[in-house]
Amino acid sequence: MKKIFSLILLSLFLTSSIKAQTDCKVLKPEISLLYKGDCKNGLAHGYGKADGIDHYEGNFKKGLPNGFGIYAWSTGEVYEGSWMNGLRHGKGKYTFFFNEKDTTQEGKWVKDEYTGMAVEKEYSVSVRRNLDRYSFYRRGNGNTIFVKLYQLGRINSDINNLTLSGNSGFPMDRSTIIGFDQVSYPFEGIIKYRTWNKMHTTQYDVVFEFKIIKPGDWVINIHN
């Protein structure tokens, strides 16, 4: 009797699990037959696997592939990369058979259309406070970053409280040369200093946070 009761409980549990997966829908018809994974409000949402004519494994949002995922077509093609609203969108790699040989296409997709090779940013700026403009210039191979501070088109020699910090290398703070030496890339740095305004009537604090991805000798120009 106890064994029969246990089998009934197991049967109810399996039925409940299958129903939960059935109730969780995938809105892309080609992979909507069977789904196993995270669910929200009756739709695939989070990480999961979906099968139908094709197969998909990766992230979902509101029932559609969204984020990173791998999609395999029944005809043999495979796409591994970014998705948005059920379409290839962002960086990815598409493998297919062409002219009787395997072919790989890497780059960027926009709304399921291939637009070409993805361009990697060489640098980025996350914080720029109390400055007019800035520029980056790569002048060759190396591992040194030179920083030049300008005001009214000339080198700004009237600065105080200069601090240089980074995730590698050593700060340089000499009379004519400031920057970072012997850095490793990608390099993340923070430059802070206090300077006068153009009219020389008040002082303010400048903060500049940046990241350089491409190795080399760099010059950063900051204008106040």
164 alpha-carbon distance from chain centroid: 26
**Given this model, what pLDDT does residue 188 score?**
96
Residue burial 124-162, b: 16+ Cβ < 10 Å; e: rest: eeeeeeebeeeebeeeeeebbbbbbbbbeeeebeebeeb
The predicted pLDDT at position 7 comes to 38
Structure tokens at 96: 């297919």
CATH number corresponding to 2-116: 2.20.110
How many angstroms separate the CA atoms of 19 and 34, rounded? 11
pLDDT score, position 118: 64
pLDDT of residue 9: 37
- Residue 221: pLDDT band (50, 70, 90) is very high
Four-CA torsion 42, 34, 17, 24, nearest 10 degrees: 0
* Other C-beta atoms lying within 10 Å of the C-beta of residue 169: 19
Tokens of 26: 């995938």
Amino acid at 106: E
Residue 17 pLDDT > 50:
no
Integer CA distances (angstroms), 207 to 85, 128, 135, 165, 177, in order: 38, 6, 15, 12, 19
pTM confidence score: 0.52
pLDDT digits 0-9 by tens, 126-159:
999 999 999 999 999 999 999 999 998 899 988 9
From CA 23, how far away is CA 26, in angstroms rounded? 10
The pLDDT score that the predictor gives to residue 3 is 41
Digit-coded pLDDT (tens) for 50-71: 999 999 999 999 999 999 999 9
Return the pLDDT at 23: 84
Q: Within 10 Å of residue 194's Cβ, how many Cβ atoms?
A: 14
CATH 2.20.110 in the chain is located at 2-116
3-state secondary structure of 15: helix
Say how far apart CA 1 and CA 164 lie, in whole Å. Answer: 76
